[in-house]
Amino acid sequence: MTFTFIKQIKKRVFFLALIGVVVLLPIVMLLIMKMAWKMTPGFSLNLAYVDKTDDSEERQAHQAFYWVLHNQQIKKADGELYDKTTDYYGVFPDANGGHRFNDFDQFTAEELDALSQELDVLMLADTYGVYADQPETAGAGLLYGGLSLNDIALFRNMKQAGKTVIAEFNVLQAPTSRVNRRKFQEEAGIQWTGWSGKYFASLDRDSELLPGWAIASYKQNYEKDWDSRGAGIILVHEDGRIVVLSEQDDLETAKPQIKTFAYGINQLELPHLQEFPYWFDVMEYDDSMNHAISAYQLELTEQGKMQLSQAGIPDRFPAVLMQQEQDFSFYYLCGDFSSEPVSMSTSRFKGVHHFGSILKGRKGIFGENEFFYRFYLPFMRNVLKQHNQVES
């Protein structure tokens, strides 16, 4: 009987110890990751981030880029971490619920030249702008936005000074004027075809995910009612044309795939294959100036290939473009890469990206943070690190 009692006690102790390990291990790991982050030396970079759209209190559109800055301990010259609500150029909220603007248009030519010498990195993130009302057509009710001549002048100066410039997705679209678009494209060696696209989980007419303008545009273009169902991709041209690719009839794989080539895999630690569910633009480029690090691939049926061919859209086009001349580096992200939600609270833990699948749930992938952890984070981390190594 004594032996049985001792055996029961041992079992209870074992199970209590096991429960303690299960409960305490994650806490201990988080504490270790937090301490490791605090002990990471980091480095200073003089960065200019441009966002002419998001002046919300949360600045959700800034999250991805500033998460990388915080997680990698990339700091301002004074040693402080960058603040996503103040350390940028573009639109800001004012005390009366309106807007105020702080951008490069206030600079003289001499001041822009001096700024290009001070800066290490320029990030042109979002120029979609601020509108009086939700615009039915591009540019309607525009209060502020678009790529300006001074933005382009600073880009040119950064290029001449051998610095790093990153531009993303919508800087070439409305409300950027066609004149300014042409100037930037000539300087950068890239060209927007006018086509943009996005994956939609449901093309059903009554889906909350489907924008109303797509149904109206489809009827105007084809003179028939919307009849697509299931997942798919919608491509729209700035002149009003629209192409709808459904998984049922036109696509072998619904989501666009980003395929990365040798440089991106070896130097930037990008995955060979990555799904991309956000807005993208169909770009062309001067291959004497740029090369593609990654490309979008649309997996099409014969019917889908015919649709794209008739519209003059290729089934493969660049996802990330890179230009390097001596010390100058230019990257164009051909999609809304910075949009994926990520919590700033996780940025202060070293190695947290390894646990992305646990944090957001996983069904074969990292959940809603898959693109951020697998593609955006290693891309930005390595681009910024490369600049620091050049400076060192």
Residue with tokens 């959700």: 60
Find, among 251, 265, 326, the residue nearest to 295 by Cα: 265
Q: By the 8 A CB rule, do 384 and 82 touch?
A: no
Strands 47-51 and 316-325: unpaired
Percent over 70 (pLDDT), the chain:
86
Report, as an integer, the average pLDDT of 107-121: 97
- Amino acid identity, residue 63? Q
Q: 329 pLDDT exceeds 50?
A: yes
Residue with tokens 């084809």: 222
**Band of residue 361 on the pLDDT scale cut at 50, 70, 90:** very low
Percent over 90 (pLDDT), the chain:
71
pLDDT value of position 352? 79
Q: Of 107-121, 136-150, 287-301, 357-371, which range is least confident?
A: 357-371
Q: 331 pLDDT exceeds 60?
A: yes
List, in sequence order, every residue forming a beta bridge with 48; answer none if it has no partner. Answer: 122
Q: By the 8 A CB rule, do 319 and 325 touch?
A: no
SS3 assignment, position 152:
helix
Q: 76 pLDDT exceeds 90?
A: yes
Report, as an integer, the average pLDDT of 202-208: 93
Q: 367 pLDDT exceeds 50?
A: no
Q: 388 pLDDT exceeds 70?
A: no
Q: 8 pLDDT exceeds 70?
A: no
pLDDT value of position 14? 54
DSSP 80: P
pLDDT value of position 349? 85
Q: Which helix (H) or strand (E) holds 282?
A: strand 280-285
Report, as an integer, the average pLDDT of 335-355: 84
DSSP secondary structure, 287-350, as one string:
TTT-EEEEEEE--B-HHHHHHHHHHT--SEEEEEEEEEETTEEEEEE-B-GGGS---GGGGGST
Instruction: Give the span between the Cα atoms of 345 and 338, in whole angstroms.
Output: 17
Report, as an integer, the average pLDDT of 78-96: 94
What does the mean pLDDT of the chain come to?
Answer: 88
pLDDT value of position 40? 83
Report, as an integer, the average pLDDT of 130-141: 68
Q: Give the residue extent of every domain in the chain.
A: 40-188+340-392, 193-315
Q: 210 pLDDT exceeds 80?
A: yes
In this predicted model, what pLDDT tens digit does every residue of 14-72 receive, in sequence order? 555 555 545 565 667 777 778 888 888 889 999 999 999 998 988 989 999 999 999 99
pLDDT value of position 340? 77
Report, as an integer, the average pLDDT of 377-384: 96
**Band of residue 317 on the pLDDT scale cut at 50, 70, 90:** very high
